[in-house]
Amino acid sequence: MSLSERQRILAETIAAREKAEALLKALQEARGASEKRLAELNLSDQLKKVTGKSAMDNAVLSAQRTVEMLTRALDDFKKELSPDELAMAYDPQSGRSS
């Protein structure tokens, strides 16, 4: 695998993890807002009543698993790179470790 291909894979995986982290944060905020609104209206989440978890709880858990999976993939991929390759992957202009 060429360095440029490794750089691309690393950059794409980092971008995917950042998007997943942003989604997770948005889902957590939406879940909080939804729970607050239900409380204000004195309503309950029917799915949560039946299953113990709301649809938002399930979405948050799924997003958390995705972030964890992408983090593990990045950690594993970084182990395959030399220090110089890793430095170049983060700063392709440098051509050397920093």
Mean pLDDT over 3-26 rounds to 90
Q: Is residue 42 part of a domain?
A: yes
Q: In terms of C-beta density within 10 A (0-12 exposed, 13-18 middle, 19 or more buried), how is residue 74 classed?
A: middle
Quick count: other Cβ atoms within 10 Å of Cβ 89? Answer: 20
Q: What is the pLDDT of residues 52-87, one digit of tens each?
A: 999 999 999 999 999 999 999 999 988 887 777 777
Q: Is residue 30 part of a domain?
A: yes
Mean pLDDT of the chain: 87
Q: Is residue 10 part of a domain?
A: yes
Mean pLDDT over 9-30 rounds to 95
Q: How far is Cα 91 from Cα 83, in angstroms, rounded to an integer?
A: 12
Q: Is residue 98 part of a domain?
A: no
Reported pTM: 0.79
Q: Please give the residue range of the domain that contains residue 17.
A: 3-90
Residues 6 or more apart from 27 whose CB is under 8 A from it?
56, 59, 60, 63
Q: Is residue 80 part of a domain?
A: yes
Question: pLDDT band for position 89 (50/70/90)?
Answer: low
Q: Is residue 79 part of a domain?
A: yes
Is the pLDDT assigned to residue 93 strictly greater than 70?
A: no
Is the pLDDT assigned to residue 97 strictly greater than 50?
A: no
Mean pLDDT over 14-35 rounds to 97
Q: How many domains does the chain have?
A: 1
Q: Is residue 95 part of a domain?
A: no
Q: Is residue 47 part of a domain?
A: yes
